[in-house]
Amino acid sequence: MTDGRVAMWRRARRARGRLAAVIGVSTIAACTPALAGGSVEVQVTSVRASDRGPSDAGLQQFRPRLRRLVGYRAYRIVQDERQDCAWGSAAEFRIPGGRMLRVVPRGMRDEAVVMQVRLVEGDRKLVDTDVRLRNRGVMLFGVGQDPPPETDTSHDEGALIIMLRAEE
């Protein structure tokens, strides 16, 4: 084998090694969102639902949905917060009533944001769930009260609705 052929063979071997390394790193980066960098924007909107009063104009689009799901007539935004959350890191959102919503985005799967969501009230976990929410989609958490006695006609305590939106 001539010197020229040996050099060419070595160059080809080095090129193959580099290509394999690039493919390996790319695969690992693609499979691990945290390594790939980036973040997901999480928006948490707290809404007071009641039977009386006006509704916020910003909720007009959601009002029919909220009515079907929750049943109240009036919806008012009481708090709105957005955070850029790193994949795998926890983000905490304060919720009226001394509650806390803790969100841990895990990654993307089939155009959905995979995340752990925990709604806590003091030491009590009102909700602890793993969800896959469609990218830019909204899901709701509601905190209500036990139904009032049938004789109690003055009941209008309403409910707290937490709107959770995630966008990669």
Partner 1 sequence: MNCAEVAERLDAFNDGELPPTALLDVARHAGGCASCEAALRALAALHQRVAAAIQDETDALDLSGVWPAVAVGVAAEDGRRAWRRRLRAAPAWAASLALAAGAVIWLQTPAPREAPSAVAMRPEPARPNQAVIDRLDSQAARVELRRERKHGTTLIMVNADGGAP
For residues 118 and 99, is the Cβ–Cβ distance under 8 A?
no
CB of 137 to partner 1, least distance (A): 4
Sequence-ordered list of residues with C-beta below 8 angstroms from that of 12, at least 6 positions apart, any chain: none
Q: How far is the CB of 31 from partner 1 (least distance, A)?
A: 19
The rounded distance, in Å, linking the Cα atoms of 127 and 117 is 8
Instruction: Give the shortest CB-17-to-partner 1 separation in angstroms.
Output: 40
Residue 88 or 97 having the CB closest to partner 1: 97
Record the tokens describing residue 115, joined without a space. 């995340």
Cβ 49 to partner 1, closest distance in Å? 8
Distance CA 166, CA 142 (A): 18
Of 82 and 106, nearer to partner 1 (C-beta) is: 106
Closer of 59 and 160 to partner 1 (Cβ)? 160
| Interface positions with partner 1 (CB under 8 A) | 65, 68-70, 97, 111-112, 119, 121, 124-134, 136-146, 157-161
Contact, 119 vs 96, CB < 8 A?
no
* Nearest of 91, 54, 79, 74 to residue 156 by alpha carbon: 74
Nearer to partner 1, 5 or 68 (CB): 68
Identify which of 101, 82, 81 has the alpha carbon closest to the alpha carbon of residue 143.
101
- Minimum distance from residue 42 beta carbon to partner 1 (Å): 14
Beta carbon nearer to partner 1, 40 or 160: 160
